[in-house]
Structure 1
Amino acid sequence: MTAGGHRYGLLAHFLNTGDAKQGRVVSAMSITNEDTGWYAKSNITLPSRTGLSDKQGVDIHTDNITWTGDTKEQKLRAKVPEGTFDVTLRPQGNVLYNAGTGYYPMFGDTKYPNYQYAFPAVDTSGTLTLNGRTEKVRGQSWLDRQWGPLPNFATVKASWTWMNINLSNGDKVSLWKTESDKENTWATVQKPDGTQTVGEAIVTPDESTRWTSPDSGRSFPTRWKVTIPGENAKLNVKVYAENQELVPGRLEGSAAVTGTYGHRPVTGSTYIEVTGR
């Protein structure tokens, strides 16, 4: 997004896990100034299904996120102590179906069937208010929806890295790297005409750039090399600010993308979600 002469990453994340008795909701959002590295966040943990209704479409109401609408238009208001963003989301173009169908076995294990689709090009406009000053904000968002069972991370050693890459050539990439007993890495690529391909990917973190959170003690890389052989892609990914741990143990970082794609120079942006160790 752009507002007041600066570029911002705006994130709203609503997560509902487990059953009614043992599950929980995490309602979280963040604002990253991609020019200065300034970062603010808010996260709330609530009982399972808190903030959800039985209405059709999106209907989420918590203390830090209000999100309503349908596939044509949505209203999103999210706040941190320093301010709020209040935007209208209008999905454009084609839906991206992860793995080509929207289904894949998480960690390569069929006992964890997961489903995921995205509107990777969402026209976004509204206002951003920080420390009492309001600016018009405009840009493009990626709207992602995923559901399905996951292992009990208290007893199972597993982690993942996920990126939603928007490139200057118009390609959109949903990239997964999951690690448990084995590593499983793959990319779903959507072309500007809506066609999709699914293929091999290689994601290599730069271990020399690790940042350790003072809040959780978890360690996260802050740079990665991404190779997608089927697209002749060699990309470099670098977060705009190190301290983007949205909730303990999970980095949700606004990041820049540079490199080559189809043997041509390319730039882009992504939010990278990575669980720490």
Structure 2
Amino acid sequence: MRWWPIRRALAFALCAALAVPAAKAGPDYPPVLPGTVMRFPADGGAHPDFRTEWWYVTGWITDERGVERGFQVTFFRVRTGIGEDNPSRFAPRQLVLAHAAIADPAVGRLLHAERSERALDPLAGAATGATRVWIRDWQLEWAQDHYRSRVDAGSFAFDLRFDPSGPPVLNGDKGFSQKAGDAKHASHYYSRPQLAVSGSLRVDGATVPVKGRAWLDHEWSSELLPDGARGWDWIGINLHDGGSLMAFRMRDERGGSMWSSGTLRTAAGETRALRPAQVAFTPQRRWRSPRTGAEYAVEWDIDIDGRRLQLRPLLDDQELDSRRSTGAVYWEGAVRLFEAGREIGRGYLEMTGYAERLRM
């Protein structure tokens, strides 16, 4: 679940648009409406009329020596509202931004990189009709029956294939995912949990084969952050029994929950939407970033409809500073999920709005 600040993205677009006339008025972003039917593979592609959109893949991978690491690759599309009446293909009507990261315990912190470009084929873009989003040689693409992502960030690189184990999981009410009491604050949102990962990873100058499990989220929306919200906490967990758990809460200025929701899928493929009263996040151990001073709860107790679970990180320092692209500092990291002392799943935890309130 991601609702991103676009301050830096818009600054980038404004610089690019100095030589072209601005649009006469702001764009008419379409609302997210309940009852919208998702269709695949078409809805795996971009929805360029909406304000923001993102494709987000995270997972755990293991190399041939048994070394475990986490990885992340995220692509964002932003409709800027700039140059919409300008016929030039160089007008920055759409931006594409990307983050990539490796969580490596041997390094002790995230290795990460970011990119941002106006949508301009063949340099960068987000295709409609099926998943294909790219910035230069960074890409995520759907190819017949699987996804593939390639990233070369200099200090690390990966080329990974993701094979689905089942159909997309529609979050909320058949893909209508509410983020606040007012239903206008919502996104179209589906997940692809339990993706089988295969491919290669380059770290420390060596390229090694890897395999593992991953999770893909795809959301698009037109609304801004709800009034009074500072950020959110989100998890996407591949359960060891073959099921999956997504849960999030919107957080106010005092750290309290404004809204929460989730989706629990069983190993048999049965999906259950979780209401706000069925999802509770309670922070436990905290870690303070030596770079930004932000304090994050890196261990959590999570209650899912009376089921008490515990979340523990692969490593504490998984803070990602993306102020050169999306403008946000956030914690995005590989975690393990436990129940009664037994590990029952692995996935990712995202925490935003701790360094500063998200301005969107």
- For residues 143-195 of structure 1, the C-alpha deviation after alignment (integer angstroms, 9 at most, x for no partner) is 11011124268x86431111001222322011011124961122210011111
The answer on whether the counterparts of 1:107 and 1:180 sit within 8 Å (CA) in structure 2 is: no
Of 309, 313, 328, 1:239 maps to 313
Cα distance 1:156–1:234, how it changes in 2: closer, same or farther (>3 A)? closer
Match of 1:16 in 2: 77
Match of 1:144 in 2: 217
Match of 2:333 in 1: 253
**RMSD, matched Cα:** 2.6
Higher CA-based Rg = 2
Letter of the structure 2 residue corresponding to residue 40 of structure 1: L
* Counterparts of 1:186 and 1:152, CA distance in 2: 16
Match of 2:353 in 1: 276
Cα distance 1:268–1:152, how it changes in 2: closer, same or farther (>3 A)? closer
* Counterparts of 2:144 and 2:231, CA distance in 1: 31
Letter of the structure 1 residue corresponding to residue 288 of structure 2: W
Cα distance 1:32–1:266, how it changes in 2: closer, same or farther (>3 A)? closer
Of 144, 163, 172, 2:244 maps to 172
The answer on whether the counterparts of 1:186 and 1:202 sit within 8 Å (CA) in structure 2 is: no
* Counterparts of 2:202 and 2:144, CA distance in 1: 26
- For residues 33-83 of structure 1, the C-alpha deviation after alignment (integer angstroms, 9 at most, x for no partner) is 257645311112334687224353122221462222246212211133322
Secondary structure at the counterpart of residue 210 of structure 1: strand
Match of 1:204 in 2: 282
Which runs of 5 or more residues in structure 2 are unaligned? 1-60, 83-92, 323-327, 355-360
Secondary structure at the counterpart of residue 256 of structure 1: strand
**TM-score, normalising length from structure 1?**
0.86
- For residues 197-239 of structure 1, the C-alpha deviation after alignment (integer angstroms, 9 at most, x for no partner) is 1221111112x5132351x44332211110112xx42111122
> Per chain length, whose mean CA-contact separation is higher, i.e. which structure has more relative contact order (CA < 8 Å, sep 6+)?
2
How far residue 31 of structure 1 moved from its aligned partner, in angstroms, is 0.6
Match of 1:125 in 2: 198
Letter of the structure 1 residue corresponding to residue 103 of structure 2: T
Match of 1:46 in 2: 117
Secondary structure at the counterpart of residue 56 of structure 1: coil
**TM-score, normalising length from structure 2?**
0.67
- For residues 104-136 of structure 1, the C-alpha deviation after alignment (integer angstroms, 9 at most, x for no partner) is 222232222211101101111011111221111
The answer on whether the counterparts of 2:238 and 2:345 sit within 8 Å (CA) in structure 1 is: yes
Match of 2:207 in 1: 134
Match of 1:2 in 2: 62
* Counterparts of 2:137 and 2:289, CA distance in 1: 26
Identity %: 20
Secondary structure at the counterpart of residue 268 of structure 2: coil
Secondary structure at the counterpart of residue 158 of structure 1: strand
Match of 1:225 in 2: 301
Which runs of 5 or more residues in structure 1 are unaligned? none
Cα distance 1:81–1:159, how it changes in 2: closer, same or farther (>3 A)? same
The answer to whether structure 1 residue 81 and structure 2 residue 154 are counterparts is yes
* Counterparts of 1:255 and 1:122, CA distance in 2: 17
Of 104, 111, 121, 1:33 maps to 104
